[in-house]
């Protein structure tokens, strides 16, 4: 198969800006496949040498941090009760889970939310609405976004290195692998979160056991 067209695609000057925009928008439109796009570009780099790795990782990380920051700002300015979608569906359920623990578990939530569908928007909205200090939030967001970008690029690069002579196949194989790994991480994080969930006795305002008699 002639792979000249995919090499030309990899060299497109619009590819990295498009990736950046996709990752930013994924902070709000969770159906956008930003993770798979980053993985695919990692595979593309490993097979064609383009776009440069030094551009993919910063663009993906910067898009992640900017998207998270915009969600934080919306939460800070608007809160968690203004719009209907904040109370319904998976986003509403995710917001309800994190709003009570965002101060106590800020680092864990910011890092794990990057890998769990709907959790990214919920955590960042809750962090803004809960007024988590920026001096605490921003370094965590930057570190989480960078780690997420490096992880996804690495997954794609590993697949691309194994299929170096067939770039189109490398991209095609890397995408379902990324989806499966995402599901595995999602389930692992959900399991850990369930084990760490506070009992009713730990909730603020809960009645002590001795007072229930």
Confidence of residue 155 (pLDDT cuts 50, 70, 90): very high
Q: Could you tell me which residue, 102 or 204, shows the higher pLDDT?
A: 102
**Per-residue confidence (pLDDT) for residue 169, from 0 to 100:** 87
**Per-residue confidence (pLDDT) for residue 45, from 0 to 100:** 93
Segment 106-127 mean pLDDT: 83
Q: What is the pLDDT of residues 20-71, one digit of tens each?
A: 999 999 888 776 678 889 999 999 999 988 899 999 999 999 999 999 999 9
DSSP 198: P
Q: What residues have CB less than 8 Å from 50, skipping those under 6 apart?
A: 7, 10, 11, 44
The answer, yes or no, to whether residue 129 has pLDDT greater than 50, is yes
The answer, yes or no, to whether residue 206 has pLDDT greater than 50, is no
Q: What DSSP assignment string belongs to 73-130? A: HHHHHH-SSSSGGGTSHHHHHHHHHHTTTTTTTHHHHHHHHTTSTTHHHHHHHHHHHT
Q: Could you tell me which residue, 5 or 20, shows the higher pLDDT?
A: 20
Q: Are 38 and 56 in contact (CB under 8 A)?
A: yes
The whole-angstrom separation of Cα 126 and Cα 176 is: 31
**Per-residue confidence (pLDDT) for residue 188, from 0 to 100:** 73
The answer, yes or no, to whether residue 177 has pLDDT greater than 80, is yes
**Per-residue confidence (pLDDT) for residue 201, from 0 to 100:** 43
**Per-residue confidence (pLDDT) for residue 60, from 0 to 100:** 96
The answer, yes or no, to whether residue 204 has pLDDT greater than 50, is no
Q: What is the pLDDT of residues 63-113, one digit of tens each?
A: 999 999 999 998 888 876 655 555 556 556 666 666 667 777 888 888 888
The tokens for 109 are 């939530």
Q: Is the pTM of this model over 0.85?
A: no
Q: Three-state SS for 150?
A: helix
Q: What is the pLDDT of residues 185-203, one digit of tens each?
A: 767 766 665 665 554 444 4
* Helices 134-162, 106-113: inter-axial angle, 10-degree rounding: 30
């Amino acid at each position: 198969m002639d792979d000249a067209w995919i090499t030309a695609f990899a060299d497109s000057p619009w590819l990295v800006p498009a990736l950046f925009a996709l990752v930013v928008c994924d902070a709000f439109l969770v159906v956008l496949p930003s993770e798979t796009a980053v993985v695919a570009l990692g595979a593309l780099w490993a097979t064609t040498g383009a776009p440069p790795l030094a551009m993919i990782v910063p663009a993906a990380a910067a898009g992640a941090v900017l998207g998270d920051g915009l969600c934080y700002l919306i939460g800070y300015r608007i809160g968690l009760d203004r719009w209907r979608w904040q109370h319904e569906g998976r986003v509403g359920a995710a917001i309800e889970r994190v709003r009570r623990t965002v101060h106590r578990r800020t680092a864990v939530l910011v890092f794990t939310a990057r890998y769990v569908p709907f959790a990214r928007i919920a955590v960042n909205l809750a962090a803004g609405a809960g007024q988590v200090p920026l001096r605490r939030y921003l370094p965590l967001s930057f570190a989480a976004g960078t780690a997420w970008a490096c992880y996804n690029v690495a997954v794609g690069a590993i697949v691309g290195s194994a299929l170096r002579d067939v770039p189109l196949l490398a991209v095609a194989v890397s995408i379902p692998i990324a989806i499966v790994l995402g599901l595995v991480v999602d389930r692992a994080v959900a399991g850990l979160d369930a084990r760490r969930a506070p009992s009713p006795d730990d909730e603020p305002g809960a009645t002590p056991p001795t007072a229930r008699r």
